Structure 1
Amino acid sequence: MTTDAEQGCQLRQRRREAGVKLSKVARLAQRSESHLTNVEHGRRSATPEILSAYERAIRESTDMRRRDIVTGLAGALLAPQATSEILRTGFTSRLGARPTGDDWEEQLDGLGRSYMADGATVVQTQLAADLAVLQHAQDSPQMWSITARSMAIYGKTTKGPSEAIEWYDLAAVAAHRSQDRDTEVWVAGRAALALGYEGAATPSALRYADKAITLAGATPSAGLLNALMGKAHALTTRGLTNEALDTWDHVLRVYDAISPDDQVTDFNYPYWRLCVVASLLHARLGDPEAEYWQAEVDKYRPANMVRFKTHVELHRGLMLARSGDYRGGVEYGEAALDALPVDKRSQSLYLMLDEIKASKAGR
């Protein structure tokens, strides 16, 4: 295991190589410079919050992706904790009473709620632990369905689109073995939305979306809704505005047909969550209708869903940058992300900030 002194030395070296001042890390970490000096000299331990602050500061200064830094910085502290949790969960399952399929369904539903409220970082270790156990529990279609859905969510917690796609493809295989059409549609649709919303790997987003749409046929479901939303975003990223708007009309028809309730979980679509997706879509299109959807999110979003407040603020930053105030849009987006606790930030939010920085007026 890396010692505090070794870890501190590594943090100091990487900060200096990136040309980052200690004062900037202190601001992001909400710690004093003297505290961080003690960390860099091994006199104090680096907490996950401090590691995330170094990660953010270096990423901003070097334009490196967050995923390229996690292994080197946060990995030294977080990996042993994750490994311990995975081992503990695995042996507890082996040595204790074996969970039933319904037990696993309840566990997955809880993770779906936690993902929405807390984000990918919080649920990743628990999902990894569950998958370590589930790989030995594939004795029924129900267990394959649980595994497939778990894999799809886990893909959202990984460090970049390439790794996520590997998990989505595995999830698709597991979903097929579940012999459950709804599971297959949901897994493919969730992959399409994840990649489409992030504006990443557009060909894969369209591939997953078309697969889900074909499997669903005329049957409305949350999975089909995911697929159509992902496809609308992917088409927008490609500049196919008319096709994107036609697809969004289909989204609204499916939404009306499935009539979701207000339960906040990754497997459900309360109205405010639909509005978040609509907000970014119309912001990307440069459509003033984005402001309507943003106002709807502000009105209906539960107070504890703070991550999604940041999503919408970043959408506003994108609109500002595209309207002509590029610098103002970037500063607005940076301030929105800075206001969110580091443990609730996600790859999607960092990619969205990158999208603002890459935008130009008139595009």
Structure 2
Amino acid sequence: MLISGLTLRAARVEAGISMRGMARRIGISYSHLSNVERGDRAATPAVVEAYRRALADKGQVVDTGREDVQRCEMSELLRGAGLLGAVPVLTAVETVRAGLHDAVSVRSRAEWWRQAIADYGASHYLTPPTGLLRDLLTDAALLEKHLAENLAADRQGLLLSAGYLAGVTALTWSNLGERRLARRWWHTAIDAADQSEDPAVQVWVRAWAVMNGPNIGRRSSEILALAQERLGERLAPDSGSCALLGGLAQTQADLGDPAAVTTLQRLAELTERVPGEIAADRGSLFGWPEVRLRYAESYVHTARRDTVAAYAAQDRALELYGTDLPRDRAKMLLHRARCLVVDGDITGGATYATDVLDNLDATVRFESVDASARAVLAVVPPHGRKLAAVCTLRGLLAAT
């Protein structure tokens, strides 16, 4: 049985090898491999054998048997029906555990769910999205059951957790490129947050929906309206309020609104008031470290083509980024590539962006990263669109 290009791509991605990295490993041109993985060329026995040898070094197996081919292709489709098939079994297991917990614990269900949400916030950047999604959907089913039991003492706390849980789930669907599902989960998150009557979750959910908006195809006017739903209220010095101002500033910059600079100033002032434990929380969705302010500054100044201010924000951010946030660091580097193009170095900017994508582990290259790379292409002037470096970047994005 012939192996499809989709199967080869799934195995390569799972091994964490970029397409250019594979081309270098096996001595076959990037463009040829791109055509094979898209299905425009047949995966010949020579190509399959080259992949098999390269992937064996990473512990991956490519076989020609039907069962193994289907298993590889299923890994590509795990985010759909294959994933959902596991949820009922896992939910049943969690229901048993939850029943035992109710019998032995002095904590209320709402208290237990608050801890679970904190754990999800901490694991969002570190856990592969398919694995995270499995856990999120399992817990969503269990939380739905708890809400259906309608215990008045716990209901508001459970609705609060439902808002956060649905928001993290929406972000995870977005990371997998499932825009429609992400948008629907954001609707659920906003409804749950509003029913909870808790201002903090209402702001947090809207903030991340605004930040996530461009990655799931929301119109800028729609994102702006969503941000403004909570701007008339006093903003607390917490991660949700800071994220809301950051998302608003980025949207204003995308719309060409000079108010983006004023919003950045408000964000900087609010960031200074954030409590120490929130400022020190680098890896959680519920933290607001300085580097997130610098990211917002870089985004806004890059979009406004103020490259001097953008480079300054990027320099500071790159001092702060560690190895624990490779995805956000990659997006920052892609801002720099965009600035290079704006400053007239079209080949340099496109090459810089290509190198960022090539050197990024496939396990953390999600839709938001590709969106930042597409923004580099968007500022290439007409006379530069046929340059070799630009065509290479365009082909790299088309292949994914």
TM surpasses 0.5:
yes
Query: Whose radius of gyration is greater, 1 or 2?
Result: 2
The 5 A counterparts of 1:293-308 are: 293-308=313-328
**How far did residue 262 of structure 1 move?**
1.0
Compared CA separation, residues 94 and 16, structure 1 to 2 (3 A): closer
Partner deviation per Cα, 1:152-207 (whole Å, 9 max, x = no partner): 12111223544323221211110111121111111111111222588853122112
Aligned-residue Cα RMSD (Å) equals 3.4
Counterpart CA distance in 2 for 1:314 and 1:46 is 35
Aligned residues: 329
CA contact (8 A) 2:207 2:244 kept: yes
Are residues 219 and 97 of structure 1, via their aligned partners in 2, closer, same or farther at CA, if it must alter by over 3 Å?
A: closer
Match of 1:270 among 262, 271, 289: 289
Post-superposition Cα deviations, 1:71-103, rounded to whole Å, max 9, x if no partner, equal x9811x554662354223310122233353222
The amino acid that maps onto 1:271 is E
Task: Summarize the Cα distance change of 1:12–1:250 in structure 2 as closer, same or farther, 3 Å threshold.
Answer: closer
Once the two structures are superposed, the pairs formed by residues 272-351 of structure 1 within 5 Å of their partners are 272-287=291-306, 288-351=308-371
Structure 1 position 115 matched with structure 2 position 91: no
What is the CA deviation profile of residues 97-156 of structure 1, one whole-angstrom value per residue up to 9, with x for unaligned ones?
335322222222121111123464552222222212222222411111111111112111
Higher mean C-alpha displacement, 339-348 vs 278-287: 278-287
Q: Which amino acid aligns with 2:111?
A: D
Indicate whether 1:230 and 2:239 are aligned.
no
Question: Helix, strand or coil for the counterpart of 2:380?
Answer: coil
* Counterparts of 2:70 and 2:353, CA distance in 1: 26
Partner of 1:172: 190
What is the aligned partner in structure 1 of residue 20 from structure 2?
A: none
| 3-state SS in 2 of match to 1:333 | helix
| Alpha-carbon contact 2:299-2:310 (below 8 Å) kept | yes
Matched, 1:153 2:168: yes
**Could you tell me how far apart the structure 2 residues matched to 1:102 and 1:34 are?**
45
CA distance in 1, matches of 2:97, 2:231: 41
User: Paired residue for 2:260?
Assistant: 244
Q: 2:199 aligns with which of 178, 181, 188?
A: 181
Letter of the aligned partner of 1:129 in structure 2? T
1:97 aligned partner, one-letter code: A
Sequence identity percentage? 19
Deviations 1:258-291 (A, max 9, x none): 2433122101111122222322222222221122
CA distance in 2, matches of 1:89, 1:187: 26
Within the alignment, does 1:195 sit opposite 2:210 as a pair?
A: no
Report the alpha carbon displacement of residue 232 of structure 1 after superposing the two structures with TM.
Answer: 0.9
One-letter code aligned to 2:90: T
CA distance in 1, matches of 2:51, 2:359: 11
Task: Identify if the C-alpha distance between structure 1 residues 88 and 358 changes in structure 2 by more than 3 Å, giving closer, same or farther.
Answer: same
Contact 1:9 / 1:41 at 8 angstroms: preserved in 2? no
- Code of the aligned partner of 1:96: R
1:279 and 1:232, CA in 2 relative to 1: closer, same or farther beyond 3 A? same
Query: SS at the partner of 1:116?
Result: coil
Secondary structure, counterpart of 2:338 in structure 1: helix
What amino acid is the match of 1:105?
A: R
> In 2, distance between residues paired with 1:353 and 1:130?
34
Matched, 1:19 2:27: no
Q: Out of 273-282 and 113-122, give the one that drifted further.
A: 113-122
2:225 equivalent in structure 1: 207
On the 8 A contact 1:275/1:293 being kept in 2, the answer is yes
- With structure 1 as the length reference, what TM-score do the two structures score? 0.78
Post-superposition CA distance 1:323-349 (Å, at most 9, x none): 222233222212212212111111101
Q: Which runs of 5+ in 2 are unaligned?
A: 10-34, 102-108, 383-400
Q: Which residue pairs with 2:91 in the alignment?
A: 90
Which residue does 1:74 correspond to in 2? 76
TM-score (norm 2): 0.72
Is 1:221 equivalent to 2:238 in the alignment? yes
Structure 1 partner of 2:22:
none
* d(CA) in 2 for partners of 1:245, 1:21: 52
